[in-house]
Amino acid sequence: MSNSQTLKTPAKSLPKNKATPVKSGEKPAHTGIAPPKNPGHSHPFPRTEFLTTVARLRDAPGDAVAEVAFVGRSNAGKSSAINTLAGKTRLAYVSKTPGRTQHLNYFSVAPDRYFVDLPGYGFAKAPQDVRKQWDGLLGPYLQTREQLKGLVIIMDIRRPLTEMDWQMLEWFAPTGRAVHVLLSKADKVSRQEQTKTLRQVKADLADLGCPVSVQLFSSLKRTGVAEAATVMKRWLGLCDNVTKETGLDDGPIGAAEKEEDVD
Ligand SMILES: Nc1nc2c(ncn2[C@@H]2O[C@H](COP(=O)(O)OP(=O)(O)OP(=O)(O)O)[C@@H](O)[C@H]2O)c(=O)[nH]1
Ligand SMILES: [Mg+2]
């Protein structure tokens, strides 16, 4: 990320290769997070399936119309968030060992619409490892992937806006694409602390100069699922009843889940 040469690489179109489902090299592990009590009720992307693991950008699905990427510090809860949104416990690899997701993991959420689980940052021990990971895959993906409609940055609510988060935000902001921050593991702090941190992070990001929104999220308690889904569906072009004034999806998913998210 520190390599400004790489960051300024002009966007170029990517080869259009058709995605072929392959088996993930990593076996999904149990998350330890209980499945929803009410299957079908509070998971807004129920058709989500693992599609493919991509080690080189040119292998990314060529048929993609829109995709949303999940990025953040290692162990912040990216894979858990994807599992939670899909309502499946073993879809994205969830690990107690930071840094297990090293490639781009593609999940199909609807025809030609994808979630992309990105490698966690802040795990590599040596600066050259960070550089290698960034220059090789993460940087070019975020810089050139035209189908990327928005970036979800996951931050552990107990330590939001780390130096790496700021670097990511400041680097990504000039692309003009939207950013949505999930303050994850909200269940780990009190309600009062949640409110305080949410307010503080919003204030800190106010001057960034790019469209950035922030919310509380917990995969464990399923907090904030509907709110997150509203943003992602809009980015993916999956809501046809978007209200012009508010920009919010008034559809059945948002309405049905409001009660669940009060937690
Ligand atoms: N209490 C609590 N634990 C969570 C939550 N989300 C994730 N975890 C736990 O945090 C750990 C890391 O979660 P992951 O989803 O694997 O994190 P990640 O960001 O994908 O990690 P990397 O792929 O290694 O970068 C796991 O032990 C999860 O069970 C949450 O909302 N609440
Ligand atoms: Mg992961």
- CB 100 near ligand 1, within 6 Å: yes
- CB 216 near ligand 1, within 6 Å: no
Confidence of residue 263 (pLDDT cuts 50, 70, 90): very low
Q: Output 34 or 80, whichever has higher pLDDT.
A: 80
CA–CA dist 1, 122 (Å, integer)? 11
pLDDT score recorded for residue 129: 67
- The pLDDT of residue 100 is above 90: no
Ligand 2 centre to CA of 76 (Å) is 8
Average pLDDT, the chain: 77
Domain membership of residue 176 as a residue range: 32-262
Nearest CA to ligand 1 atom 7: 77
In a domain, 146, yes or no: yes
In a domain, 2, yes or no: no
pLDDT score recorded for residue 138: 86
Q: Which ligand is nearest to the CA of 89?
A: 1
pLDDT score recorded for residue 90: 79
How many structural domains comprise the chain? 1
Ligand 1 centre to CA of 75 (Å) is 5
Nearest to 180 by CA among 155, 158, 200: 155
Pocket test for ligand 1, best of 26, 75, 97 (most atoms within 8 A of CB): 75
Q: What number is the average pLDDT over the span 138-150?
A: 93
Confidence of residue 239 (pLDDT cuts 50, 70, 90): confident
- The pLDDT of residue 158 is above 60: yes
CA–CA dist 35, 163 (Å, integer)? 33
- The pLDDT of residue 71 is above 90: yes
CATH number at residue 220: 3.40.50.300
In a domain, 255, yes or no: yes
Q: Output 148 or 41, whichever has higher pLDDT.
A: 148
